[in-house]
Amino acid sequence: MPLGSRFRGSTRVSSWKITLPCTKAEAEAVEREESPFAAFENPPVLMSSEPDETKPDEWRLDGYFETAPTPDDIALFRTLAPSAERIEPSIEQLADEDWVTMSQQGLEPIRAGRFFVHTPAHRDAIPADAIALEIDAGRAFGTGQHETTTGCLLAMDRLKEGAISFDNILDLGTGTGLLAFAALKLWPDAKVAASDIDPVSIDVSAENAAINGIPTGTGKGEVELIVAAGMEHPRLAARAPYDLIVANILAGPLIDLAPSVAAALAPGGRLILAGLLNTQAEAVTSAYRRQGLMGSFDIVRGDWTILTMRKRKALGWQ
Protein backbone atom coordinates (compact mmCIF):
# COMPACT_ATOMS: atom_id res chain seq x y z
CA MET A 1 0.00 0.00 0.00
CA PRO A 2 1.52 3.33 -0.97
CA LEU A 3 2.24 5.56 1.97
CA GLY A 4 1.78 8.78 0.10
CA SER A 5 2.31 10.88 -2.97
CA ARG A 6 2.89 14.37 -4.26
CA PHE A 7 0.74 15.05 -7.32
CA ARG A 8 0.56 17.81 -9.88
CA GLY A 9 -1.26 17.84 -13.18
CA SER A 10 -4.04 15.68 -14.55
CA THR A 11 -3.35 15.35 -18.27
CA ARG A 12 -2.36 12.24 -20.12
CA VAL A 13 1.38 12.37 -20.73
CA SER A 14 4.23 10.12 -21.76
CA SER A 15 5.89 9.61 -18.38
CA TRP A 16 9.07 8.17 -16.92
CA LYS A 17 9.52 6.17 -13.74
CA ILE A 18 12.53 5.93 -11.43
CA THR A 19 12.56 3.14 -8.85
CA LEU A 20 14.82 2.49 -5.86
CA PRO A 21 14.58 0.16 -2.88
CA CYS A 22 14.24 1.94 0.46
CA THR A 23 13.67 1.27 4.14
CA LYS A 24 10.36 1.70 5.93
CA ALA A 25 11.72 4.77 7.71
CA GLU A 26 12.70 6.35 4.39
CA ALA A 27 9.24 5.59 2.99
CA GLU A 28 7.60 7.27 5.99
CA ALA A 29 9.88 10.28 5.56
CA VAL A 30 8.63 10.68 1.99
CA GLU A 31 5.09 10.86 3.38
CA ARG A 32 5.79 13.28 6.20
CA GLU A 33 8.45 15.63 4.85
CA GLU A 34 8.18 18.18 2.09
CA SER A 35 9.33 16.82 -1.25
CA PRO A 36 12.73 18.11 -2.45
CA PHE A 37 10.96 18.57 -5.79
CA ALA A 38 8.29 20.85 -4.28
CA ALA A 39 9.67 23.99 -5.95
CA PHE A 40 9.66 22.38 -9.39
CA GLU A 41 7.09 23.66 -11.88
CA ASN A 42 6.08 20.05 -12.61
CA PRO A 43 7.21 17.95 -9.64
CA PRO A 44 7.14 14.17 -9.94
CA VAL A 45 4.61 11.94 -8.26
CA LEU A 46 6.36 10.08 -5.41
CA MET A 47 4.92 6.74 -4.31
CA SER A 48 6.28 4.42 -1.62
CA SER A 49 5.08 0.85 -1.24
CA GLU A 50 5.70 -2.39 0.64
CA PRO A 51 6.20 -5.09 -2.03
CA ASP A 52 6.45 -8.03 0.40
CA GLU A 53 4.62 -7.96 3.77
CA THR A 54 6.93 -10.73 5.04
CA LYS A 55 9.85 -8.29 4.72
CA PRO A 56 8.51 -5.27 6.66
CA ASP A 57 11.64 -3.12 6.30
CA GLU A 58 12.11 -3.64 2.56
CA TRP A 59 10.12 -0.95 0.78
CA ARG A 60 10.20 0.57 -2.70
CA LEU A 61 10.19 4.18 -3.85
CA ASP A 62 8.83 5.14 -7.28
CA GLY A 63 9.05 8.56 -8.87
CA TYR A 64 6.89 9.40 -11.90
CA PHE A 65 8.22 12.22 -14.10
CA GLU A 66 6.43 13.98 -16.94
CA THR A 67 9.65 14.15 -18.97
CA ALA A 68 12.86 12.16 -19.10
CA PRO A 69 14.62 12.75 -15.76
CA THR A 70 17.87 14.67 -15.94
CA PRO A 71 21.03 13.63 -14.06
CA ASP A 72 20.14 16.29 -11.47
CA ASP A 73 16.62 14.84 -11.12
CA ILE A 74 18.09 11.39 -10.58
CA ALA A 75 20.60 12.65 -8.03
CA LEU A 76 17.84 14.47 -6.11
CA PHE A 77 15.62 11.39 -6.18
CA ARG A 78 18.47 9.30 -4.77
CA THR A 79 18.61 11.55 -1.69
CA LEU A 80 15.21 10.15 -0.68
CA ALA A 81 16.69 6.65 -0.22
CA PRO A 82 20.16 6.93 1.35
CA SER A 83 20.15 3.19 2.10
CA ALA A 84 20.28 2.54 -1.66
CA GLU A 85 23.33 4.72 -2.34
CA ARG A 86 25.20 1.80 -3.94
CA ILE A 87 22.27 0.64 -6.05
CA GLU A 88 21.60 1.94 -9.53
CA PRO A 89 18.01 3.14 -9.89
CA SER A 90 15.71 1.53 -12.42
CA ILE A 91 14.63 4.09 -15.04
CA GLU A 92 11.96 3.34 -17.62
CA GLN A 93 9.71 5.19 -20.02
CA LEU A 94 6.02 4.43 -19.60
CA ALA A 95 3.13 4.45 -22.01
CA ASP A 96 0.64 7.32 -21.89
CA GLU A 97 -1.08 7.32 -18.50
CA ASP A 98 -3.76 9.30 -16.74
CA TRP A 99 -1.80 10.90 -13.88
CA VAL A 100 -4.84 11.19 -11.61
CA THR A 101 -5.56 7.48 -11.92
CA MET A 102 -1.88 6.62 -11.55
CA SER A 103 -1.52 8.68 -8.39
CA GLN A 104 -4.46 6.87 -6.80
CA GLN A 105 -3.31 3.32 -7.55
CA GLY A 106 -3.17 1.34 -4.33
CA LEU A 107 -4.71 4.08 -2.20
CA GLU A 108 -7.41 1.94 -0.67
CA PRO A 109 -10.17 3.55 1.42
CA ILE A 110 -9.57 3.87 5.17
CA ARG A 111 -12.27 2.98 7.72
CA ALA A 112 -11.52 4.64 11.06
CA GLY A 113 -14.42 4.34 13.46
CA ARG A 114 -17.40 5.95 11.76
CA PHE A 115 -15.18 7.62 9.13
CA PHE A 116 -14.61 6.36 5.58
CA VAL A 117 -11.80 8.27 3.83
CA HIS A 118 -11.49 7.60 0.12
CA THR A 119 -10.20 8.92 -3.18
CA PRO A 120 -12.52 9.66 -6.13
CA ALA A 121 -11.89 6.13 -7.39
CA HIS A 122 -13.91 4.67 -4.47
CA ARG A 123 -17.00 6.86 -4.45
CA ASP A 124 -19.14 3.80 -5.17
CA ALA A 125 -17.81 1.88 -2.14
CA ILE A 126 -19.03 4.17 0.66
CA PRO A 127 -20.75 2.18 3.45
CA ALA A 128 -24.26 3.33 4.30
CA ASP A 129 -23.38 3.91 7.97
CA ALA A 130 -20.16 5.87 7.38
CA ILE A 131 -19.18 9.52 7.47
CA ALA A 132 -17.48 9.75 4.09
CA LEU A 133 -14.71 12.21 3.27
CA GLU A 134 -13.08 12.35 -0.15
CA ILE A 135 -9.40 13.26 -0.05
CA ASP A 136 -7.46 12.87 -3.27
CA ALA A 137 -3.80 11.91 -3.34
CA GLY A 138 -2.16 15.29 -3.64
CA ARG A 139 0.29 17.95 -2.68
CA ALA A 140 -0.31 17.91 1.09
CA PHE A 141 -0.02 15.39 3.92
CA GLY A 142 -3.16 13.82 5.34
CA THR A 143 -4.96 11.49 2.94
CA GLY A 144 -5.90 9.23 5.84
CA GLN A 145 -3.44 6.57 4.71
CA HIS A 146 -0.84 7.32 7.36
CA GLU A 147 -1.29 5.77 10.81
CA THR A 148 -1.08 9.16 12.53
CA THR A 149 -4.01 10.56 10.55
CA THR A 150 -6.05 7.40 11.06
CA GLY A 151 -5.23 7.51 14.78
CA CYS A 152 -6.48 11.10 15.08
CA LEU A 153 -9.75 10.10 13.42
CA LEU A 154 -10.10 7.22 15.87
CA ALA A 155 -9.34 9.52 18.82
CA MET A 156 -12.03 12.02 17.77
CA ASP A 157 -14.46 9.16 17.20
CA ARG A 158 -13.79 7.90 20.73
CA LEU A 159 -14.36 11.35 22.21
CA LYS A 160 -17.67 11.54 20.36
CA GLU A 161 -18.65 8.12 21.71
CA GLY A 162 -18.04 9.52 25.19
CA ALA A 163 -20.76 12.13 24.54
CA ILE A 164 -18.19 14.94 24.81
CA SER A 165 -19.22 18.11 23.01
CA PHE A 166 -16.94 20.78 21.56
CA ASP A 167 -17.79 24.30 20.43
CA ASN A 168 -14.42 25.72 19.33
CA ILE A 169 -11.93 23.44 17.57
CA LEU A 170 -8.49 23.92 16.04
CA ASP A 171 -6.72 21.58 13.61
CA LEU A 172 -3.12 22.75 13.90
CA GLY A 173 -0.99 21.71 10.92
CA THR A 174 -4.02 20.68 8.89
CA GLY A 175 -2.35 19.37 5.71
CA THR A 176 -5.34 18.43 3.52
CA GLY A 177 -7.98 19.72 5.94
CA LEU A 178 -9.18 16.16 6.63
CA LEU A 179 -9.10 16.32 10.44
CA ALA A 180 -10.83 19.71 10.53
CA PHE A 181 -13.57 18.39 8.25
CA ALA A 182 -13.94 15.25 10.36
CA ALA A 183 -14.28 17.36 13.52
CA LEU A 184 -17.03 19.43 11.93
CA LYS A 185 -18.85 16.27 10.87
CA LEU A 186 -18.83 15.06 14.49
CA TRP A 187 -19.69 18.44 16.03
CA PRO A 188 -21.60 20.29 13.29
CA ASP A 189 -22.45 23.32 15.45
CA ALA A 190 -18.83 24.01 16.35
CA LYS A 191 -16.58 26.73 15.01
CA VAL A 192 -13.49 25.10 13.46
CA ALA A 193 -10.15 26.60 12.46
CA ALA A 194 -7.62 24.76 10.26
CA SER A 195 -4.12 26.21 10.08
CA ASP A 196 -0.90 25.25 8.33
CA ILE A 197 2.47 26.88 7.85
CA ASP A 198 2.39 25.87 4.16
CA PRO A 199 0.17 28.01 1.88
CA VAL A 200 -0.10 25.07 -0.53
CA SER A 201 -1.75 23.01 2.21
CA ILE A 202 -4.34 25.71 2.77
CA ASP A 203 -5.03 25.86 -0.99
CA VAL A 204 -5.45 22.07 -1.02
CA SER A 205 -7.71 22.27 2.05
CA ALA A 206 -9.91 24.82 0.30
CA GLU A 207 -10.22 22.52 -2.71
CA ASN A 208 -11.06 19.57 -0.46
CA ALA A 209 -13.62 21.63 1.46
CA ALA A 210 -15.43 22.35 -1.80
CA ILE A 211 -15.32 18.68 -2.83
CA ASN A 212 -16.79 17.58 0.51
CA GLY A 213 -19.36 20.35 0.84
CA ILE A 214 -17.67 21.81 3.92
CA PRO A 215 -18.68 25.46 4.52
CA THR A 216 -15.72 27.79 5.01
CA GLY A 217 -15.90 30.89 7.16
CA THR A 218 -15.63 32.10 10.73
CA GLY A 219 -19.02 31.15 12.11
CA LYS A 220 -20.61 28.09 13.67
CA GLY A 221 -20.69 25.10 11.35
CA GLU A 222 -17.84 26.52 9.27
CA VAL A 223 -14.10 25.96 8.89
CA GLU A 224 -11.76 28.93 8.72
CA LEU A 225 -8.58 28.17 6.74
CA ILE A 226 -5.53 30.06 7.99
CA VAL A 227 -1.88 30.18 6.88
CA ALA A 228 -0.07 30.40 10.21
CA ALA A 229 3.35 29.46 11.53
CA GLY A 230 2.24 29.02 15.13
CA MET A 231 -0.28 29.83 17.84
CA GLU A 232 0.79 33.47 17.93
CA HIS A 233 -0.93 34.20 14.62
CA PRO A 234 -3.55 36.94 15.22
CA ARG A 235 -6.45 34.87 13.91
CA LEU A 236 -5.57 31.82 15.99
CA ALA A 237 -5.08 33.99 19.08
CA ALA A 238 -8.37 35.80 18.51
CA ARG A 239 -10.33 32.54 18.28
CA ALA A 240 -8.94 31.11 21.55
CA PRO A 241 -9.65 29.51 23.92
CA TYR A 242 -10.27 26.20 22.16
CA ASP A 243 -11.96 23.25 23.80
CA LEU A 244 -10.38 20.80 21.31
CA ILE A 245 -7.02 21.12 19.57
CA VAL A 246 -5.78 18.45 17.17
CA ALA A 247 -2.09 18.69 16.21
CA ASN A 248 -0.72 16.04 13.84
CA ILE A 249 2.75 17.43 13.27
CA LEU A 250 6.08 15.99 14.50
CA ALA A 251 7.47 15.32 17.97
CA GLY A 252 10.00 18.18 17.95
CA PRO A 253 7.57 20.94 16.96
CA LEU A 254 4.95 19.53 19.34
CA ILE A 255 7.37 19.86 22.24
CA ASP A 256 8.35 23.38 21.19
CA LEU A 257 4.69 24.40 20.87
CA ALA A 258 3.64 22.93 24.24
CA PRO A 259 3.48 26.26 26.16
CA SER A 260 1.52 28.14 23.47
CA VAL A 261 -0.81 25.23 22.67
CA ALA A 262 -1.58 24.61 26.35
CA ALA A 263 -2.18 28.32 26.93
CA ALA A 264 -4.74 28.44 24.10
CA LEU A 265 -6.68 25.46 25.47
CA ALA A 266 -9.75 26.15 27.58
CA PRO A 267 -9.95 24.74 31.12
CA GLY A 268 -11.00 21.10 30.77
CA GLY A 269 -10.23 21.24 27.06
CA ARG A 270 -8.98 18.21 25.15
CA LEU A 271 -5.83 17.83 23.09
CA ILE A 272 -4.99 15.21 20.45
CA LEU A 273 -1.28 14.99 19.59
CA ALA A 274 0.12 12.90 16.73
CA GLY A 275 3.08 12.62 14.40
CA LEU A 276 5.27 11.04 17.07
CA LEU A 277 6.88 7.64 17.13
CA ASN A 278 6.22 5.29 20.05
CA THR A 279 9.74 6.03 21.27
CA GLN A 280 8.94 9.78 21.37
CA ALA A 281 5.63 9.51 23.24
CA GLU A 282 7.12 9.89 26.72
CA ALA A 283 9.01 13.07 25.84
CA VAL A 284 5.95 14.69 24.23
CA THR A 285 3.70 13.64 27.13
CA SER A 286 6.16 15.12 29.65
CA ALA A 287 6.29 18.43 27.78
CA TYR A 288 2.52 18.83 28.05
CA ARG A 289 2.29 17.55 31.61
CA ARG A 290 4.63 20.38 32.57
CA GLN A 291 1.99 22.72 31.15
CA GLY A 292 -0.71 21.24 33.38
CA LEU A 293 -2.27 18.64 31.07
CA MET A 294 -3.24 15.12 32.09
CA GLY A 295 -3.20 12.02 29.92
CA SER A 296 -6.62 10.65 28.92
CA PHE A 297 -5.95 7.76 26.55
CA ASP A 298 -3.42 6.72 23.93
CA ILE A 299 -3.89 5.00 20.59
CA VAL A 300 -0.99 3.03 19.12
CA ARG A 301 -0.91 2.43 15.38
CA GLY A 302 2.14 0.46 14.34
CA ASP A 303 5.20 2.56 15.19
CA TRP A 304 3.11 5.64 15.96
CA THR A 305 1.40 6.84 19.16
CA ILE A 306 -1.55 9.24 19.26
CA LEU A 307 -1.92 11.02 22.62
CA THR A 308 -5.18 12.39 24.00
CA MET A 309 -4.82 14.76 26.96
CA ARG A 310 -6.99 17.05 29.07
CA LYS A 311 -6.21 20.44 30.62
CA ARG A 312 -6.78 20.81 34.35
CA LYS A 313 -9.77 23.05 34.94
CA ALA A 314 -8.03 25.05 37.64
CA LEU A 315 -5.41 26.41 35.23
CA GLY A 316 -7.58 28.74 33.15
CA TRP A 317 -6.08 29.91 29.90
CA GLN A 318 -3.48 32.43 28.71
Domain closes at, from 82, 104, 126:
104
- Clarify whether residues 261 and 163 are in a common domain: yes
- Clarify whether residues 95 and 231 are in a common domain: no
Establish if 260 belongs to a structural domain. yes
- Clarify whether residues 151 and 100 are in a common domain: no
Residue 233 lies in domain: 147-315
Would the annotation count 248 as a binding residue?
A: yes
Establish if 113 belongs to a structural domain. no
Would the annotation count 149 as a binding residue?
A: yes
What is the structure's pLDDT at 192?
A: 98
Establish if 49 belongs to a structural domain. yes
What is the structure's pLDDT at 40?
A: 85
User: Once rounded to an integer, what is the mean pLDDT over residues 310-315?
Assistant: 81
- Residue with the bigger pLDDT between 147 and 117: it is 117
- pLDDT 10s digits, 64-100: 888 899 999 999 999 999 999 999 999 998 765 544 4
- Clarify whether residues 194 and 296 are in a common domain: yes
- pLDDT 10s digits, 286-312: 999 999 999 999 999 888 899 999 998
- Clarify whether residues 59 and 190 are in a common domain: no
- Residue with the bigger pLDDT between 137 and 269: it is 269
Question: Total domain count for the chain?
Answer: 2
What is the structure's pLDDT at 30?
A: 83
pTM: 0.71
Domain closes at, from 104, 120, 136:
104
What radius of gyration do the chain's Cα atoms show?
Answer: 20
Would the annotation count 96 as a binding residue?
A: no
- pLDDT 10s digits, 234-260: 999 999 999 999 999 888 899 999 999
Question: Does the pLDDT at position 6 exceed 90?
Answer: no
User: Once rounded to an integer, what is the mean pLDDT over residues 105-113?
Assistant: 77
- Clarify whether residues 246 and 155 are in a common domain: yes
Q: What is the mean pLDDT of the chain?
A: 86
- pLDDT 10s digits, 16-62: 889 999 998 898 888 777 788 888 887 887 888 878 878 888 999 98
Question: Does the pLDDT at position 182 exceed 90?
Answer: yes
CATH code for position 202: 3.40.50.150
